[in-house]
Structure 1
């Protein structure tokens, strides 16, 4: 019986190509911008090298310009990729989780929902971070599920601020594309501003362990757009 071969890890250039192919059909400005950034950066580097009046300085300026141009294009592609992915997530059940997990620091959102409507009309995810606990509620009837979850959480994580965010395009809801901004604002609204305010990392981990022990809804994600299959590994894109 043949053994299952481990899945090959994609190389950084494959991830870049994958991100570009995903983004290009929805972003007509992507290619002109990716051409324009190197032209401007390298051009500025050449001018700077010529002004220094030294062949060595010119060579180093060109090398630095090329490196900065590559970094600039990678940064541009990552941002445009995220923008397109977020837009495609609008209206897709479970899209809020993908967007929330794209936040790089301060928050960690679990893959499994904490509450699901059996008819698929609503779903609630949760995350723990510097601002306490955030509930991402999607779908019609999500409010009643949020109320039940909050009642459970106040017993399991007493004293920790629980902030629900209703995701959508309706009244009192947060669109998917502005969800990261809304999540980042939670910390200031719950605990005030400043580096010393909010939950510390060890406190966050204690809360996560309690919530995991509490369990949650174990239902498969609804079908739809799956940008997770196209999401590039940022470390890989940087060549790590």
Structure 2
């Protein structure tokens, strides 16, 4: 069977326009803010060009003002878009996974949870990166037992690899979505200390992933598209085969 061709990549300007339209639907101040950020530096550059007698200033002042306005507008659009996305994902199942998978370097998070407690509605996602293994726990403090069991199992499957649980939420001792990626990155320094060469190398990370895949452990039968809240853990796996 012939391999289907890869989907064409979306142009950057289309992605930018989508981010703007999505954000502007609820952020009514956004067009005015972006317009001011674009026009004020450009206007300043034009004024400098008019009052200046130097040829270089007349040429480069408007260009510098335009580029400055574009950079500021893109920065503000990105921040306000992220803020809106975090607000929409806050409290939704799998919101922490969506945020964590946006990390571009150093971490990989599996699409499916590694532990689910239907009674407490706790869900735990697993990521492996240069800071070791991170467990993202959704469900508040009710997820503690599930996290403890998962942590104990991972210590046996991957001895010597740090396992850091992060409880995601807006309560006490929980990490909100907007700070989640920062908390994940901080595990490298927390577990291995400062230094460019500190942490798990790419080869070590691949070894850990392969070991976890090979040894497995309790497998949670959750096909894609199934609500993890309705899933039931494999009791035989929990007792050990």
TM category (shorter chain) comes to: 0.7 to 0.9
Map of 1:121 onto structure 2 = 121
1:193 Cα deviation after fit: 2.3
Report whether the alignment pairs 1:75 with 2:75: yes
CA distance 1:126–1:48, change in 2 (3 Å): farther
CA distance 1:164–1:221, change in 2 (3 Å): farther
Residue 26 of structure 1 aligns to a residue in which SS? coil
Residue 43 of structure 2 aligns to a residue in which SS? helix
Report whether the alignment pairs 1:143 with 2:144: yes
Higher RCO structure, 1 or 2 (CA under 8 Å, sep 6+)? 1
Partners of 1:86 and 1:19 in 2: CA distance: 14
1:116–1:219: 8 Å Cα contact kept in structure 2? Answer: no
The structure whose Rg is larger is: 2
Report whether the alignment pairs 1:202 with 2:203: yes
Decide which of 221, 224, 231 is 1:220's aligned counterpart.
224
Residue 194 of structure 1 aligns to a residue in which SS? coil
Map of 2:192 onto structure 1 = 191
Query: Can you list the C-alpha shifts for 1:107-146, whole angstroms capped at 9, x where unaligned?
Result: 2222222122346812111112221111001116422221
TM-score norm. by structure 2 comes to 0.77
Runs of 4+ deviating beyond 6 Å: none
Query: Can you list the C-alpha shifts for 1:147-174, whole angstroms capped at 9, x where unaligned?
Result: 2221221122211110001112233322
CA distance 1:183–1:193, change in 2 (3 Å): same
Query: Can you list the C-alpha shifts for 1:168-224, whole angstroms capped at 9, x where unaligned?
Result: 22333222222222222222222222323222232223223333445554443577x
CA distance 1:195–1:52, change in 2 (3 Å): farther
1:51 Cα deviation after fit: 7.0
CA distance 1:135–1:17, change in 2 (3 Å): same
1:48 Cα deviation after fit: 5.4
Structure 2 regions of 5+ residues with no counterpart? 228-241
**RMSD of Structure 2 on Structure 1 (CA):** 2.8
Partners of 1:184 and 1:48 in 2: CA distance: 44
CA distance 1:202–1:95, change in 2 (3 Å): same
- More divergent stretch after superposition (93-102 vs 62-71): 62-71
TM-score norm. by structure 1 comes to 0.77
Residue 104 of structure 2 aligns to a residue in which SS? coil
Structure 1 regions of 5+ residues with no counterpart? 224-240
Map of 1:169 onto structure 2 = 170
1:97 Cα deviation after fit: 0.7
Partners of 1:79 and 1:212 in 2: CA distance: 37
Residue 224 of structure 2 aligns to a residue in which SS? coil
State the number of aligned residues: 220
Report whether the alignment pairs 1:98 with 2:132: no
Map of 1:152 onto structure 2 = 153
Query: Can you list the C-alpha shifts for 1:68-121, whole angstroms capped at 9, x where unaligned?
Result: 433332232222111111121111111001111223333222222212234681
